[in-house]
Structure 1
Amino acid sequence: MTQEITHFTIDMTPYEDRTRFEPMRLKSWPRDDAAWERIQKLKPTLDSLTIDVIGGALQWAVEEGEAVVERMARSSIIREQHDYRASINSIDCDNVTTVSWAATADPIRDTYSLEEILPGDVYIYNDVHGSCATIGHLPDYCIVIPIFGEGRLIGFSQVFGHVTDVGGAVPGSWPIRSTSIYEEGTICPVVKLFDAGRLNADALKILLRNSRFPGELQGDIDGFIACARLMERRVLELVDQYGADVVEAAFYAIMDRCESDARAHALPNIPDGTYVGEDFIEEDGISNKPIKIKYTIHKDKDRMVIDASGTGPVAEGPVNWAMDGRHYIKWLGAFLAGEAGQELLVNEGMGRVMQMMIPPDTVLSARHPAPVVDRMECMLVMINAYTAALAKAHKGNVIAGMMNIQLYGIWGHDDDGNEYLYREIFGAGSGARPWADGTDTVDLVPHSKNLPAEFIEQRYPIVVERVGLYKDSGGAGLYRGGLGYLKDVRCLADGFLSITAYRTVFGPFGVNGGKAGLPGVCWINPGTPDEVKLVHRQQMVPVKKGDIVRITTPGGGGWGDPLKRDPEAVRLDVHRALVSPESARDHYGVVLVDSDDPRHPIAVDTEATADRRRELAANRAPLKLIDRGEAFNKMVEEGLIEVSDYDDLAYDENGNPVG
């Protein structure tokens, strides 16, 4: 007997009035050129192997171009920490290659007619509120080069990256107290840096004059241009081999493949239904109030619709994000792709499977002149809001919460009077998985890494005293959350410390009975009478020669009941100094004693552990599906925060709520 399956169908009635929501894409560039009809007819005739070869060549062009940036760039945040992205766009400004939060060529089409776009042009911009929602904050300069094949425009190569300084109120162009984008740096609208191959030297002078570190900016721009030119050459090599029409037809076939793969291999793995998820920005740098990002996810067999209604309003401080649903979908599309169980390239095609409905005037839909420089927290919090919703869809079988980017910097002058800015983007612990512990010290920026001590000490008046794992930071669970960083640096000159820290009060949430990870905070001179603890964002805090600055980053949330964790795994964590004996006893119920075995200096007291676990189980509250930690729970109980999942229970191995 065949069981009939009835699919949930999304009711789109609430979304028919599009005036209630921002456009999914602020502008679009539908094709009506002479080649379009040929390309549409050609696309269905392409065999899979040809699409594979062209697609692989395009991806390799992106990777090769990014390697050029790494070799040529001068700023540490670009060269050492890989905070840049390249991509190849079609003529209608769709991402063909894989994207994370890559920009697109839309503002070039918005500024110049097709007749004005010429071979040899190089475009530059960073105008957040004038870039068709393609750039997130002013430190991200973008370079775009048009690609002409067989005498006609067929696409664009593009790269953007986070440069050291673009002016503004503070060194590093990250003013955490800004209330307008005009405080955040030089705003560069789309201009031709090269016009048909001829350098616009005056424009370059203006950009460099407005940076505190013009040499670094010049090197980064040169690296971006070289990257984009290399990608242009690689596409033209494909044109020489296959012809422009075939290459363009492959562009659209590659995007179609993303759509069909997501629909066939990712969507079916999420149960149909409606699920709500929320997460919170702790504060915005101005007001001391949490800001909610809320997603109501509707999913049926054909698509996923994410409704951001209920998300907090435009913030006074610079945590706003000014992009559109199209770009957010490509960002979250990477997490939908994770449902596929196989490699799935995420490009513009994902927007045909996922839709995002964002009301106007929210922290996710800020418009001119809203401050945006610290929009990174929106990027991180929206992942956790999405995860919280999927935790309900999958009955707890999702990765726990995490916050995998922190930023800090020390600015000043060395003993010779030279200005310096030592800045580092740090990772943190990733959330525990339903099958394994989380990963320690992971940076969400792909290919990123912490700065080597040798690089720091040779370049800045800084000594790295210690780099290691932040003990006990991973949330307790059947599987433990990954640990964050602990880093101590000593100042060799007076200066000023700025930190952009996320999750300094609320830890990343645990899932399905797992506990929240520890927040990450900063200290000056920890463990001394002069100790200062810094939470939230801090700007230009004085530090003296000889001071120790300690940075810690959050641990990932735990997954599952901590009292079910293998005692031997807890013992090994204590032996490796990842978990303290006190945490082992209080969170995992594991009692450890000294051992005479030199290979295993501590051992599990089996009987005392069984007693301790029974005691903890008898006196604890029911396990939660989403555990956001004591500080968050206190704010809920005081009526300062509302969250839909506060009383949701964890699930057992049979998918039934526990407690």
Structure 2
Amino acid sequence: MSDERAEVVWDGTANSYRPGPGWRDAIAAIDLHADADETLDPVTYEVIRHRLWTINTAHGETVTRVSGSPVFASLDFNMCILTEDAEIVMNAPFIQYLNIGAPYTVKFIMEHFGDRPGIEEGDVFFGNDPWVGAVHQMDVLFAAPVFVDGRLFAWVSNAGHQYDLGGVVPGGWPQNAVDVYHDPVLLSPMKIVERHELRPDLERMYLRQSRMPELLALDLRAQIAGCQAAGAAIVAMCDQFGAPTVKAAMRRVVQSARTAFAAKLRRIPDGTWSDVRYLDEALPGDRHTYRVAINVHKAGDRITIDNRGSDPQQEGPLGITFQALAGSVLSAVAISMLPEQLFAVGGAETNIDYDVVPGLLNTVTYPAAVSAAICNVVTHLNLMQTCIGRMVAGDDELRRDIVAPGPDYPVPVVSGTDDRGQFFGSAILDHFAMGGGARSSQDGVDTGGPSWSPLTFLMNVEAVEQWFPFVYLWRRELEDSGGAGRWRGGVGLAYAWTPYRARSLDVYSFSGGMSMSGFGAQGLLGGLPSPPARTTVKRATDLLEAFAQGRVPGSIDDVAAGEVLMLRGKSNAVALGPGDVAESVISGGGGYGDPLEREAARVALDVREWRVSAAAARGVYGVVVDAAGEVDGAATQRERAGIRARRSAWAPGIALGRDGGPSDPVAATGEPPRRVHEAIVARDEGAERVLACERCGTVLCGYAGNVKHHLLAGAAALVDALPRANDPADYLDGEDVVLRSYCCPGCAVLMSVEVVRRAEPAVCEMRLAPPGDR
């Protein structure tokens, strides 16, 4: 540990809570049920493993049925089952990062409350402290101990976005919060249910914070009921199979994930993979970006995460806590490396170390504002997903599970009163219909939702209109909204609404990353990013006249208006009156691989089915489509040759400046060539181990070098490089953010694409460690 972190105290006060080396001594007096039947047979194990999965999904259904919230109806939650000492056994297939903080919260409870007020059968604890376990205050975390034969056998937990917990903005996203005291109320963990009885004093205190206490009371009971139902199901399973048998199965689930993750890591060469993103707007009106970085160091069967290269935390809702960072890391591991483990991520967590610097944007210290920064958790998840995709791309088996990131998450929030004077205020969650990222062997799913929330769905418009006083005008998939690549990202969605029976209706926006100013989803291994999101407000429109004439517009261009507003990534309330229209756009997933390697027939099919425009087919994919929608073979061959010729005229990447420094030569190993990237192999060249182009054989650099220094690099303005792009100059001042592309100097195959400030050196995204340097 370096000197800058030697005095850090991870106690959940100024810095996040992380159990110290003496944590187990602090819980020694708790009577833990740890008996396990080591003779567990494989059939019983599989039955119990899938029963645990079913308990988690039923837990989610219980929460949805009890709550009346549109947020819970969209499955904006997650739940998990933990061991008696708070190790995750199995997560649920909902929003992955939401309940990753459960081990921290439960360990905090055990360490601090085991003696007084005690942990007893029938208790339920809750809290929303982001420095203990929640990702932000609106995602309230509940945890309940499960007792068998009078001993603490397991824990069940859920975390879900409650409708409104106060703060200066309805719904819990205060864009103007300069610190945590402007956020919704922050509650350290406490016992809300004591020996099966809901504590009325704490419930009254809790509901007093909300603009909608009746709905919040249902949310509270829904999450309590979920914990109680899941706990009862575990007890019933112990009655059926015997507690030692169930405990043995739980331990085997954990060990299976640990073993699988370690084995997969050993298949990957040692090294460091890094990525960088920018976050827009510390506060509304701020026109600057802020840098965040993730570095993944892999050695043997372990990885270490550090956050060096990130900017210091700022005043305003921009940063995330350590718990949220850890949640983004483990979520990316679950979906990219362990899909066969049914989200049993606890075992994998034991192979991940963190060497993070507090006070940076991705490990903020108290009292930073964090509630409206929640979308930047998705940004960090996408960062980690990109690093993992690059790590495993060289392994023929592991690369089958690669998914390019989906877009960062921009959300419109509406609030006001309906025609009965009742308050409403929450996010419209249609953005869950984002396009999916491309895979290594197939296109992303169109409007298929994020990979980090497998069961999330797009609610029917009628259901949404029951909760909010507006009506939809359209929902439609968007041409050119997926990232281009050898495999295309899934396309995204545009949807629009207008007030209906509303006394007042305000719309806000909040977002993560550069999802409004720059791009949506990062491409992978030569794939291009998807375009950014957009929220457009048109006021003083002709909509009511169109209705009177029997016309319903089908796009925002069909609506004439006296005033047009483009909302920023963080915006304050914009009032909508009768006939005013708001349209939100969410883009698709990132592309995978060089777009010029996509089969021309696939591009033509995309044009015919309105996923890709003819202009983008030609300009991005180099495919010329005739009036009948068929490929013009000769013109396509000429177009693609022209694009490759223009790439070949780019300057060497070293001209951008060094990031990562030079490396010493690595001696030849005598091993056969090994792919380490979609288009790069490691092989011997004379007496040296080198990295070479897999397509044409051109030697790029030494094995431990920064390959980007030896590729050709070209930069383009985002508005010129991406279809449907917004102009960053409309959002940012004095920051020249560009799309920078890198290709092989021999055959011009595209190997990497990054969105960076023009003045910054190439991001050293892969640096392999010399063999034997573990």
| Residues 425-444 of structure 1 mapped to structure 2, 5 A cutoff | 425=429, 426-427=431-432, 428-441=434-447, 442-443=449-450, 444=452
Match of 2:510 in 1: 500
Match of 1:109 in 2: 110
Verify the 8 A CA contact 2:332 2:385 in the aligned structure 1: no
| Structure 1 unaligned blocks of 5 or more | 1-13, 596-601
Match of 2:331 in 1: 331
2:491 partner SS: coil
Amino acid at match of 1:19: A
Match of 1:576 in 2: 609
Match of 2:91 in 1: 98
Deviation at 1:551, TM superposition (A): 0.4
Verify the 8 A CA contact 1:510 1:627 in the aligned structure 2: no
Verify the 8 A CA contact 1:124 1:142 in the aligned structure 2: yes
| Residues 236-635 of structure 1 mapped to structure 2, 5 A cutoff | 236-264=235-263, 266-286=264-284, 287-324=286-323, 327-335=327-335, 337-338=337-338, 342-343=340-341, 345-390=343-388, 392-393=390-391, 399-403=403-407, 405-421=409-425, 423-425=427-429, 426-427=431-432, 428-441=434-447, 442-443=449-450, 444-492=452-500, 493=502, 494-502=504-512, 503-507=515-519, 508-525=521-538, 526-527=556-557, 528-529=560-561, 530-595=563-628, 602-620=629-647, 630-631=717-718
Between the aligned partners of 1:658 and 1:87, the Cα distance in structure 2 is 37
Cα pair distance change 1:271/1:236, threshold 3 Å: same
**Further displaced range: 626-635 or 118-127:** 626-635
Between the aligned partners of 1:304 and 1:465, the Cα distance in structure 2 is 48
Deviation at 1:407, TM superposition (A): 1.7
Deviation at 1:655, TM superposition (A): 10
Deviation at 1:640, TM superposition (A): 5.0
Deviation at 1:343, TM superposition (A): 3.9
Q: Across the two proteins, how many residue pairs are aligned to each other?
A: 629
1:604 partner SS: coil
2:121 pairs with one of 119, 122, 147: 119
Whether 1:88 and 2:88 are equivalent positions in the alignment is no
Deviation at 1:281, TM superposition (A): 1.9
Between the aligned partners of 1:349 and 1:289, the Cα distance in structure 2 is 40
Cα pair distance change 1:477/1:190, threshold 3 Å: closer
Amino acid at match of 2:46: D
Match of 1:7 in 2: none
Amino acid at match of 1:608: A
Deviation at 1:220, TM superposition (A): 1.4
Cα pair distance change 1:382/1:422, threshold 3 Å: closer
Verify the 8 A CA contact 1:168 1:185 in the aligned structure 2: yes
Amino acid at match of 2:55: A
Deviation at 1:326, TM superposition (A): 5.3
Deviation at 1:617, TM superposition (A): 3.1
Verify the 8 A CA contact 2:329 2:381 in the aligned structure 1: no
- What are the superposed Cα offsets for residues 425-461 of structure 1, whole Å, 9 maximum, x if unpaired? 2132232223222222213433112231111233322
Between the aligned partners of 2:493 and 2:308, the Cα distance in structure 1 is 35
Between the aligned partners of 1:84 and 1:160, the Cα distance in structure 2 is 6
Between the aligned partners of 1:197 and 1:172, the Cα distance in structure 2 is 30
- What are the superposed Cα offsets for residues 212-238 of structure 1, whole Å, 9 maximum, x if unpaired? 111211111111111111111111113
Verify the 8 A CA contact 1:439 1:482 in the aligned structure 2: yes
1:473 partner SS: coil
- When normalised by structure 1's length, the TM-score is 0.86
Between the aligned partners of 1:239 and 1:564, the Cα distance in structure 2 is 55
Amino acid at match of 1:439: V
Deviation at 1:401, TM superposition (A): 3.9
- What are the superposed Cα offsets for residues 76-119 of structure 1, whole Å, 9 maximum, x if unpaired? 0112x101111122232221222632132234224412562222
Cα pair distance change 1:178/1:157, threshold 3 Å: same
Between the aligned partners of 1:573 and 1:328, the Cα distance in structure 2 is 33
Amino acid at match of 2:331: W
Between the aligned partners of 1:242 and 1:16, the Cα distance in structure 2 is 51
Deviation at 1:658, TM superposition (A): 9.8
- What are the superposed Cα offsets for residues 507-551 of structure 1, whole Å, 9 maximum, x if unpaired? 123233332211111111243342222231222122222111110
Match of 1:153 in 2: 152
Deviation at 1:391, TM superposition (A): 5.4
Cα pair distance change 1:655/1:39, threshold 3 Å: farther
1:225 partner SS: helix
Between the aligned partners of 1:355 and 1:466, the Cα distance in structure 2 is 47
Whether 1:19 and 2:9 are equivalent positions in the alignment is no
| Residues 144-183 of structure 1 mapped to structure 2, 5 A cutoff | 144-183=143-182
- When normalised by structure 2's length, the TM-score is 0.74
Cα pair distance change 1:26/1:369, threshold 3 Å: same
Verify the 8 A CA contact 2:328 2:380 in the aligned structure 1: no
2:304 partner SS: strand
Verify the 8 A CA contact 1:89 1:155 in the aligned structure 2: yes
Between the aligned partners of 1:94 and 1:367, the Cα distance in structure 2 is 25
Between the aligned partners of 2:232 and 2:579, the Cα distance in structure 1 is 51
2:480 partner SS: coil
Verify the 8 A CA contact 2:593 2:751 in the aligned structure 1: no
Between the aligned partners of 1:348 and 1:261, the Cα distance in structure 2 is 12
1:274 partner SS: strand
| Structure 2 unaligned blocks of 5 or more | 11-15, 539-555, 654-707, 722-726, 754-774
Amino acid at match of 2:441: W
